Amino acid sequence: MAKESLSEQAYGLIRRMIVRLELTPGSVVREDELQEKLGIGRTPIREALQRLARDQFLVVIPRRGMIVSSVDIAELATLYETRAILEPYVARLACERGRPEHWIKMRKVLDKAKKPGISAQDQIHVDAECHEIVWEAAGNRFLTDTLDVLYAQSDRLWHMYLADVADMGHALDEHDEILNALEAGDAELVYKLSASHVRSFDAQVRDAVRKRLEIVLV
């Protein structure tokens, strides 16, 4: 695997800060503070911020610089419908193109998640690892790049609405079912299970948003 450039490292670290709400929606992003915090120079930081703006994690405000983008509730449907199209398609490609070592790797990841006392944060990390293995097995970097950004936006929603209340155990059980179908080479079942997995996440977020809005309106 090629070594990450400093720009790629900066991108991953800053995006993680945004996803985990260390940089909250609407907050101003300051290059000098990021340089000091991450120990990375000005040029890689600037390149990373420009990429984050293209990926809609940041918004450029004239004469103010960059701020962390908000997640508009109205865009939930758009995010879901995009993932609902791409994720099952990529999973089916993975079933057709994946190798046994992909599924061995995924099995190890899921077994690790069955240890008692695993935290919600660790569960979401395992969920991400499973998705990444499937994307790798599919062997299409253009789809992978797109899904990586979409997943990160979904991950940010999880941290906003579900991190304190949700149990990701059901999602990992769904990955177990998907893996069984991948190992069996049943591409159509993989497609259906992947679509159901995305639909389940969307339903959870919508339910959490609705409950929060009800609390605010009371």
Specify the range with the lowest mean pLDDT, choosing from 22-26, 58-62, 72-76, 133-137: 72-76
Average pLDDT over every residue of 133-155: 95
pLDDT at 24: 93
- Beta-sheet strand order (sheet of 65-68): 28-29, 65-68, 58-61
CATH superfamily of 73-217: GntR ligand-binding domain-like (1.20.120.530)
Q: Which residue has the higher pLDDT, 133 or 75?
A: 133
Closest CA to 126 of 174, 160, 93, 92: 174
Residue 209 has what pLDDT?
75
Query: How many degrees, rounded to 5, is the angle at CA 49 between CA 12 and CA 66?
Result: 130
Sorting pLDDT into bands at 50, 70 and 90, what band is 139? very high
What CA–CA distance (Å, rounded) separates 111 from 53? 37
Residue 3 pLDDT level (bands cut at 50, 70, 90): low
How far is it, in rounded angstroms, from Cα 174 to Cα 197?
6
CATH number for 6-68 (one of 3.40.50.720, 2.40.50.140, 3.30.450.40, 1.10.10.10): it is 1.10.10.10
- Compute the mean pLDDT over every residue in the chain, rounded to the nearest whole number: 89
Residue 1 has pLDDT above 50, yes or no: no
Residue limits of CATH 1.20.120.530 in the chain: 73-217
Q: pTM for this one?
A: 0.86
Could you read off the pLDDT of 153-198 as tens digits, one per residue?
988 888 887 766 566 778 889 999 999 999 999 999 999 999 999 9
Mean of pLDDT values over 101-114: 94
Q: 29: helix, coil or strand? A: strand
Residues of CATH 1.10.10.10 domain(s) within the chain?
Answer: 6-68
Q: Using the CB atoms, write b or e for 70-89: b if 16+ within 10 Å.
A: ebeeeebeebbeebeebbbb
pLDDT over 90, % of the chain: 67
Q: Which residues contact 192 (CB under 8 A, 6 or more apart)?
A: 88
pLDDT: which is higher, 153 or 217 = 153
28: β partners? 67
